[in-house]
Structure 1
Amino acid sequence: MAVPPSAPPLSSLSAHLLAASFAISYVGSLYLSKHSRLRFSSTAVAHNQNDVPRQKYDGERWRDDPDVIRARLTAVTLSTLLSCATIGWVLNHVDHGNSSTGDLICATLYWIGLGVDLSPAALKTIFLSSLITVVLFLGPLYGYYLDSSLPFQSRFSFKRDVYSVIRTWIGWRNYIIAPITEEVVFRACVLAVYHMSGASVNKMIFLSPLWFGVAHMHHAWDVYNRFGRTTAALRRAILGTCFQLTYTSLFGSHVAYLFLRTGSILPPITAHIFCNVMGFPALIEDLARYSKRRYVIWFAYTMGVAGYVYTRSRWSENPDSPYWNHSF
Structure 2
Amino acid sequence: MTSSSAFRPPLLSSSTAHLLAFSFGLAYVGSLYISKHARVSFTRVSVTRPKQREDKARDRYEDERWRNDPGVIRARLFAASVATVLCCGAVWGIGWKVEGIQVCDWELGLRVTLQRLGMSSFGGWKAYLVTPTLFLGPLWAMWLSQSLPGQRFWMLTGPGGLVQQYATWQGFRNYIVGPITEELVFRACVLAAYGLAGASRSMMIFCSPLVFGLAHIHHAWETYNRYGRTAVAAKRAILGSVFQFAYTSVFGFHCAYLFIRTGSVFPAIMSHIFCNVMGVPQLSWEVRKHPSWKESIYVVYVVGIVGYVSLLGPWTETAGSVYGSIATQ
Q: TM-score, normalised by structure 2?
A: 0.92
Q: In the aligned structure 2, how far is the partner of 1:326 from the partner of 1:71?
A: 38
Given that 2:58 and 2:228 are in contact with CA atoms closer than 8 Å, whether structure 1 keeps it comes out as yes
1:55 maps to which residue? 59
Worse-matched range after superposition: 89-98 or 74-83: 89-98
Aligned in 2, Cα 1:116/1:309: closer, same or farther, shift over 3 Å? closer
Q: Does the alignment pair 1:29 with 2:31?
A: yes
Determine helix, strand or coil for the equivalent of 1:80: helix
Q: In the aligned structure 1, how far is the partner of 2:52 from the partner of 2:324?
A: 51
Given that 2:121 and 2:264 are in contact with CA atoms closer than 8 Å, whether structure 1 keeps it comes out as no
Q: In the aligned structure 1, how far is the partner of 2:307 from the partner of 2:9?
A: 39
Aligned match of 2:86 in 82, 88, 99? 82
Q: In the aligned structure 2, how far is the partner of 1:133 from the partner of 1:97?
A: 38
Shift in Å at residue 62 of structure 1?
Answer: 0.2
Identity over aligned residues, as a percent? Answer: 46
Q: In the aligned structure 2, how far is the partner of 1:135 from the partner of 1:264?
A: 20
Aligned in 2, Cα 1:144/1:172: closer, same or farther, shift over 3 Å? same
Determine helix, strand or coil for the equivalent of 2:325: coil
Shift in Å at residue 163 of structure 1?
Answer: 2.4
Given that 1:201 and 1:324 are in contact with CA atoms closer than 8 Å, whether structure 2 keeps it comes out as no
Q: Output aligned runs, 1:102-141, within 5 Å.
A: 102-116=107-121, 122=123, 125=124, 127-141=125-139
Q: In the aligned structure 2, how far is the partner of 1:224 from the partner of 1:291?
A: 36
Letter in 2 for 1:63: R
Aligned in 2, Cα 1:261/1:116: closer, same or farther, shift over 3 Å? closer
Aligned match of 2:154 in 138, 153, 156? 156
Alpha-carbon displacement from aligned partner over 1:2-46 (angstroms, at most 9, x marks no partner): xxxx86100001000100110000000000000100000134773
Letter in 2 for 1:142: W
Q: In the aligned structure 2, how far is the partner of 1:70 from the partner of 1:101?
A: 34
Q: In the aligned structure 2, how far is the partner of 1:258 from the partner of 1:221?
A: 32
Determine helix, strand or coil for the equivalent of 1:158: coil
Given that 1:139 and 1:300 are in contact with CA atoms closer than 8 Å, whether structure 2 keeps it comes out as yes
Shift in Å at residue 279 of structure 1?
Answer: 0.3
Given that 2:14 and 2:194 are in contact with CA atoms closer than 8 Å, whether structure 1 keeps it comes out as yes
Shift in Å at residue 166 of structure 1?
Answer: 2.5
Which ranges of structure 1 fall in alignment gaps of 5 or more residues?
A: 1-5
Given that 2:54 and 2:228 are in contact with CA atoms closer than 8 Å, whether structure 1 keeps it comes out as no
Given that 1:166 and 1:175 are in contact with CA atoms closer than 8 Å, whether structure 2 keeps it comes out as yes
Aligned match of 1:20 in 15, 19, 22? 22
Which ranges of structure 2 fall in alignment gaps of 5 or more residues?
A: 1-7
Given that 1:47 and 1:230 are in contact with CA atoms closer than 8 Å, whether structure 2 keeps it comes out as no
Q: In the aligned structure 1, how far is the partner of 2:152 from the partner of 2:311?
A: 31
Q: In the aligned structure 2, how far is the partner of 1:103 from the partner of 1:324?
A: 20
1:180 maps to which residue? 180
Q: In the aligned structure 2, how far is the partner of 1:141 from the partner of 1:114?
A: 30
Shift in Å at residue 202 of structure 1?
Answer: 1.0
Q: In the aligned structure 2, how far is the partner of 1:205 from the partner of 1:305?
A: 19
Q: In the aligned structure 2, how far is the partner of 1:47 from the partner of 1:109?
A: 51
Shift in Å at residue 116 of structure 1?
Answer: 4.2
Determine helix, strand or coil for the equivalent of 2:157: helix
Shift in Å at residue 97 of structure 1?
Answer: 4.3
Shift in Å at residue 58 of structure 1?
Answer: 1.8
1:3 maps to which residue? none
Worse-matched range after superposition: 37-46 or 143-152: 37-46
Given that 2:32 and 2:79 are in contact with CA atoms closer than 8 Å, whether structure 1 keeps it comes out as yes
1:216 maps to which residue? 216
Shift in Å at residue 164 of structure 1?
Answer: 2.6
Q: In the aligned structure 2, how far is the partner of 1:248 from the partner of 1:108?
A: 26
Letter in 2 for 1:109: L
Shift in Å at residue 189 of structure 1?
Answer: 0.5
- What's the RMSD between the two structures over aligned residues? 1.6
Q: In the aligned structure 1, how far is the partner of 2:212 from the partner of 2:39?
A: 20
1:64 maps to which residue? 68
Q: Output aligned runs, 1:265-304, within 5 Å.
A: 265-304=265-304
Q: TM-score, normalised by structure 1?
A: 0.92
Q: Does the alignment pair 1:262 with 2:262?
A: yes
Q: In the aligned structure 1, how far is the partner of 2:20 from the partner of 2:177?
A: 23
Q: In the aligned structure 2, how far is the partner of 1:158 from the partner of 1:261?
A: 36
Q: Aligned residues, how many?
A: 314
Aligned in 2, Cα 1:7/1:80: closer, same or farther, shift over 3 Å? closer
Shift in Å at residue 162 of structure 1?
Answer: 2.3
